[in-house]
A and B are shown apart, each in its own frame.
Chain A
Amino acid sequence: MSVLVIADHDNASIKGSTLNVVAAAKQMGGDIAVLVAGQGCSAAADAAAKIEGVAKVLLADNAAYAHHLAENLAALVVELAKDYTHVVSAAGTTGKDFLPRVAALLDVAQVSEIIAVQSADTFVRPIYAGNAIATVQSSDAIKVVTVRSTGFDPVAAEGGSAAVEAVGAAHDVGISSFVGEEIAKSDRPELTAASIVISGGRGMQNGDNFKMLEGIADKLGAAVGASRAAVDAGFVPNDMQVGQTGKIVAPQLYIAVGISGAIQHLAGMSDSKVIVAINKDEEAPIFQVADYGLVADLFVALPELEGKL
């Protein structure tokens, strides 16, 4: 048995979610190889080699993989996959994009967003927006799996000393190309990695008012998130969305402000250790999952909260 983990990285460093994926891979059993595919990504490969429990790093450094286009990345992974029993990535937007393509080309099923490993072929995953938890067994020779980071404690980023091996294959399928991207720049921690998250919903009324959350976030070292309603209303960009179809978070402390608590939002944050809800509607469903509820006008409560921190 052997597991191929496809790393999430930005060429210079490995994203935190990869450490959770390696933790899941360890439970599947066998040697763990990590593929770092990109352009100018040798620094990321060196970082991957230091991850605890990694036996080997495969470095595919080529212009074809520069923007992780699914068509090219899938062709590469399919070629490598034949030597492994498991092919695994984080269930971020990159993994969700290319990995089903890999599975189809291998003629195997994919098991999406697992939150636990029961055995080498049996996995646990939420369905129906987390309203049901399914245990599924794969009968395919190669198990293709995406991992929900919050389901696994990360392995150590340091301590390993794997060899880095270059992979020569350049798969440029030539049917897609990168045009551009708008990546949000922020000094705050990443949503999915932050130990404290403060999110705003429709009750924030507009995007400007999110500055009230940012002030508190900066005092707490927190990330700022949003409900789907706030994103749909155009208050804030999509990358801030927490929920079933946005980001799944499980911080030590989640503060929901002006969020009613729709099922699809709860699906993205209900594994948080401590949940605080601030809402003026005392009937809001968010209070049913909150450890500490404050029924208050957020425009009064937020400045007071910032002042007391």
Chain B
Amino acid sequence: MKVLVAVKRVIDYNVKVRVKPDNTGVDLTNVKMAMNPFCEIAVEEAVRLKEKGVATEIVVVSIGPKAAQEQIRTALALGADRGIHVETDEEIQSLAAAKLLKAVVDKEQPSLVILGKQSIDNDNNQTGQMLAALAGYPQGTFASEVSVDGDKVKVTREIDGGLMTVSLNLPAIVTTDLRLNEPRYASLPNIMKAKKKPLESTTPADLGVDVTPRLTTLKVEAPAQRQAGIKVADVAELVDKLKNEAKVI
């Protein structure tokens, strides 16, 4: 079966985020970029499905500027077979991303699409669910376990109260949570091999998708900073402060 994985280029999770002085957004100039951590988990899950003999082909897709091809190459080095780059320099919001991915799904007809549950830049947690809606597929969000069985996939989901398991008809959409797997690192020989794997390029216009943003960001500000308080000498002083100063116990 064919598995489609969507990956996003985002600010590296180790980078300290700085808001631009003119409050129009976050400063991304000369900042290290990387594959969104939840997308790495999605790639890893697809590769494991292939290693188990469940998946036969892994197609990786990314939407974004030319540089997003770096993240596609990373996924190819981790074990994906070929890449699709939807090239655009426009701001792509979740609904537009879902529409672009729907167009790719129509063309590729995968049995399973795996995405990260959210990207660590906008923290929206929407694209997978929106893609599922547009494609008319069932969805297994926040997955911590995925097992394909015939024409169904069983997904264990991390929910507020604990865990919930659902069975979905294939084709289906899965979004990854943190504990689905621990992504591997790409080996040097695989990084070299990935350079030769096929990567096709397309655009939102080619796919016939209107990506006009629906949300306008009016301003972006730095959050109110918390000031460090005091150090207490011992437990007795701590309890005293909580009782008599903060009055919270």
Residues of A near B11 (CB, < 8 A) are 128
**Inter-chain contact B166/A177, CB cutoff 8 Å:** yes
**How far in angstroms is the closest Cβ of chain A from B129?**
4
Question: In the complex, A127→B25 CA distance in Å?
Answer: 10
Known: A101-B139, A109-B95, A175-B169. Contact between A292 and B162, CB under 8 A? no
**Inter-chain contact A136/B125, CB cutoff 8 Å:** no
Question: In the complex, A99→B162 CA distance in Å?
Answer: 20
Residue in A71, A196, A273, A305 with the greatest tally of chain B CB atoms within 10 Å: A71
Neighbour of A290 across the interface among B214, B228, B236, CB < 8 A: B228
**Inter-chain contact A176/B228, CB cutoff 8 Å:** no
Chain B residues touching A, majority SS:
mixed
Task: Using CB atoms, name the residue of chain A closest to B38.
Answer: A245
Task: Using CB atoms, name the residue of chain A closest to B161.
Answer: A183
Known: A183-B162, A252-B248. Contact between A101 and B229, CB under 8 A? no
Chain A residues touching B, majority SS:
mixed
In A126-171, which residues have CB < 8 Å from any B CB?
Answer: 126-140
**Inter-chain contact A109/B17, CB cutoff 8 Å:** no
Q: Judge if B192 is at the interface, Cβ distance under 8 Å.
A: no
Per the CB 8 Å criterion, the residue count for chain A at the interface is 87
Q: Judge if A110 is at the interface, Cβ distance under 8 Å.
A: yes
Q: Judge if B62 is at the interface, Cβ distance under 8 Å.
A: no
Neighbour of A93 across the interface among B123, B158, B178, B236, CB < 8 A: B158
Is the interface on chain B under 10, 10 to 19, 20 to 34, or 35 or more residues?
35 or more
Residues of B near A93 (CB, < 8 A) are 141-142, 157-160
Task: Using CB atoms, name the residue of chain B closest to A101.
Answer: B133
**Which residues of A line the B interface, CB within 8 A?**
67, 69-71, 74, 92-94, 96-105, 107-113, 122, 126-140, 173, 175-184, 192, 196, 220, 228, 231-232, 237-239, 244-245, 247, 252-253, 270, 273-276, 282, 287-296, 301, 304-305, 308-309
**Which residues of B line the A interface, CB within 8 A?**
11, 16-17, 19, 26, 93-95, 98, 117-118, 120-134, 136-139, 141-142, 144, 154, 157-169, 177-179, 214-223, 226, 228-232, 234-236, 238-239, 241-242, 246, 248-249
Closest 7 CB pairs of A and B: A291-B229, A100-B129, A104-B130, A104-B133, A109-B214, A100-B126, A176-B138
